């Protein structure tokens, strides 16, 4: 079973990512569906066994307040230099008050994990070859933050 980082721990991943070009019957498993597939088929899907994944070039406002129907939303980072996924996470957490699991998938790298966590991500599906234990440890690379974020709404100067 594939491994991910969830809440700072390396754990088994029980979700299956469905590609954008998928056709046919969905597997009998927890599935992460492309956002467009969900939009096209949402009336016939069991949302308890389905999450969605959003590409960084897709508009999160398309799902908006429906986000909280999902137990899991993943945001795809096609390359590690594409920062739009950070903004998608902040919008999901702050504008739409998403409370489910928020996962980074694709090309996120170890050096970004602390900042991804600050934007609201709590799980990470990293590419093969990345040491997951070391990556999980990087979530605690810094102990003090100055700016506000999804994980700390108060700036440093206002904290006791």
> What residue numbers bound the domain in which 66 lies?
3-158
Task: Identify the CATH number of the domain in which residue 120 sits.
Answer: 3.20.20
Max intra-chain CA distance, the chain: 56
Whether 146 shows a pLDDT value over 80: the answer reads: no
pLDDT in tens, 58-112: 999 999 999 999 999 999 999 989 999 999 999 999 999 999 999 999 999 999 9
- Please report, to the nearest 10 degrees, the dihedral formed by the alpha carbons of residues 9, 143, 110, 76 taken in order: 80
Number of structural domains, the chain? 1
Report the sign of the C-alpha dihedral through residues 61, 62, 64, 69, in that order: negative
The pTM score is: 0.91
The structure tokens 């949302």 sit at: 47
Q: How far apart are CA 75 and CA 103, in angstroms?
A: 6
Bridge-based pairing of strands 50-55 and 9-12 is unpaired
């Amino acid at each position: 079973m594939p491994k991910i980082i969830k809440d700072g721990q390396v754990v088994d991943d029980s979700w299956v990512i469905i590609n954008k070009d998928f056709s046919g019957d969905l597997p009998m498993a927890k599935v992460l569906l492309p956002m467009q597939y969900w939009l096209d088929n949402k009336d016939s899907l069991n949302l308890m066994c389905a999450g969605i994944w959003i590409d960084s070039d897709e508009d999160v406002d398309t799902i908006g307040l429906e986000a909280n129907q999902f137990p899991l939303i993943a945001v795809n980072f096609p390359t590690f230099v594409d920062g739009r996924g950070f903004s998608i996470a902040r919008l999901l957490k702050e504008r739409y008050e998403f409370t489910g699991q928020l996962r980074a998938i694709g090309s996120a790298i170890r050096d970004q994990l602390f900042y991804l966590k600050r934007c609201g991500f709590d799980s990470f599906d990293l590419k093969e070859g990345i040491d997951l234990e070391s990556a999980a440890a990087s979530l605690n690379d810094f102990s003090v933050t100055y700016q506000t974020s999804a994980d700390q709404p108060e700036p440093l100067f206002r904290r006791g």
